[in-house]
Amino acid sequence: MQHASMSMIETKKFIFLSKRQRNAVTLLLGCVLLVSIGLLIATKLWFQDQEIKLLSIDLIKLAVTAWGAWGLILLYASANSFERISNETKNFLEKDIRRAFDTSALKIDNVAIDPLNEGLKLNLVVQTRNSVVYEFVSGTGFAIHFYCKLNVYDLVILVFLPERHASNYKSIYETSLKYLEDNGIKVMPMGVFEERWLPAKQKRLQIQILRSVGDDFLFDAARRTYVADLIFGDMRAFLVRAQREEGR
């Protein structure tokens, strides 16, 4: 029984119906239900035929059962639609991540809970359907940028750091890099590149962070909140270390 249940759960992941297909099946099931009800009414009002009456009752039972199963399929197909996935991706990148950064800046009696969070701001610079470039600004006005791209199961983050840190990045960001690596997060220096979205196309050192967020991430509010908080912690660490290095 457990094996059969697991097979059904795995099988439903392959269900993907277009809006037109969903409407067609819904219309067909609706017609079957209406015809069966019509037959049942006809056997009572116009002609007494026991076989047709039993047939109509059986059709109604089958139609109601089919509607129950179809309702579950519709719920999954709707959640698994391209439009829903795109919408939830946008919500995570534009709302969940911003909320994690805004929450960190909360104050008690006009004093930040964590002094390192004093005056931190997050701005959206460039965005596409499944990616955003952010500007992360400290209380003193120093800023770094980072890019997030969510590919349903994987979250790719590029941290853009000052160009001159490239030759000594391992020492400057040692604790940040070690923390990520110790937690099984893939981290890779990508080199120095000209960033066309920055004023005067400035060059930045890029460090890539790859997180696997797992199945159904977009529909798990707790998991989304947790990952957004992790992104804040990682980016704050890079911001603090970059600012300290620049202040020397």
pLDDT in tens, 16-55: 556 676 677 778 877 777 777 776 677 666 666 677 667 7
Q: Which residue has the higher pLDDT, 115 or 208?
A: 208
Rg value, the chain, Cα: 28
Q: Which residue has the higher pLDDT, 12 or 162?
A: 162
The span from the CA of 18 to the CA of 99, in Å, is 33
Residue 11 has pLDDT above 50, yes or no: no
> What per-residue confidence (pLDDT) applies to 115?
67
HSE-CB for 207 with a 13 A CA cutoff:
27
Residue 15 has pLDDT above 80, yes or no: no
Q: Which residue has the higher pLDDT, 158 or 44?
A: 158
The span from the CA of 113 to the CA of 120, in Å, is 12
Share of the chain above pLDDT 90, in %: 44
Q: Which residue has the higher pLDDT, 144 or 32?
A: 144
Sequence-ordered list of residues with C-beta below 8 angstroms from that of 239, at least 6 positions apart, any chain: 120, 136, 138, 142, 144
Phi/psi for 124 (5° steps) reads -85, 125
Residue 202 has pLDDT above 80, yes or no: yes
85-136 per-position pLDDT tens digit: 888 899 999 999 999 988 876 666 666 666 677 788 999 999 988 999 999 9
Phi/psi for 96 (5° steps) reads -65, -45
> What per-residue confidence (pLDDT) applies to 107?
65
Phi/psi for 154 (5° steps) reads -125, 140
Q: Which residues of 57-79 are buried (b: 16+ CB within 10 A; e: fewer)?
A: eebbeebeeeeeebeeeeeebee
> What per-residue confidence (pLDDT) applies to 26?
76
> What per-residue confidence (pLDDT) applies to 47?
62
> What per-residue confidence (pLDDT) applies to 78?
60
Tell me if 157 sits within 8 A of 211, measured CB to CB. Answer: yes
Structure tokens at 166: 């490239």
Task: Give me the amino acid identity at 122.
Answer: L
Q: How far is CA 65 from the centre of its chain?
A: 33
